[in-house]
Amino acid sequence: MKIWIDGDAAPYEVKEIVFRAAKRLQVDTRLVANRLLATPRNAPTVHAIQVGEGANVADQYIAEHGEPGDVAITADLPLASALVEKQLFVIDPRGDEYSPDTIASRLSMRNFMDGLRGSGLVGGGAGPYSELDKKAFAATFDRLLTKALKLASKEKNA
C-alpha cells in the first residue's frame, strides 16, 4: 500500500500531515510533480518523483502506478476519476472523498463550471486554503488511511 500525492498543487499543510503519518506508520509515500519537491529528511519512506514537463504528466504517472487500495491526494477531478475507477482511496486537499458514488456528479459539475468560466459568466475558483480545510483533510485522510491499512493487512494475511 502506498500514499500518492499529486504534488504540483498540494498545499504545504496537506504534505505535512501526510509526511507525519508516513513517518509514524512507515508507509511508502510518493510525492509526484513536474519539478523536484523537497521531502523530510527524517521520513525515509517519503520519496519525491520528478516527471517530465507537460500538462498532466504527473497525473498520468500516478494513474499508471497507483494500485487498488492505495491512497491518493489530488484536487484534479479527471485524475481522481481514473483513480477511483482503479479502486484507490482518493481525497482532495479540502477533505472531500471521491468515491464511485460521487465522482460522476463532481466531474459533471466541474465541466459545467468550466463552461461558465469560459463564457465569462463566473469567475475564480476555490477560496484560499483555510484552517477548516486542513482539519477536514486531516479527518478524512485519517479515516481513509486506516481503511487502506486494514485492507492491506487483510490481503497480506490472506
Helix axes 77-85, 57-65, angle to 10 degrees: 10
- Number of structural domains in the chain: 1
Q: The domain that contains 95 carries what CATH number?
A: 3.40.50
Domain that holds residue 39: 2-157
φ, ψ of residue 136 to 5 degrees: the values are: -65, -45
Identify the pLDDT of residue 127. Answer: 79
Mean pLDDT by 10 residues, the chain (158 residues): 92 96 97 94 94 90 97 93 96 93 66 56 72 97 97 87
Would you say 55 and 34 are in contact if contact means Cβ atoms under 8 Å apart?
no
Strand partners, 33: 50
φ, ψ of residue 28 to 5 degrees: the values are: -60, 120
What span, in angstroms and rounded, lies between the C-alpha atoms of 131 and 124?
20
Identify the pLDDT of residue 110. Answer: 53
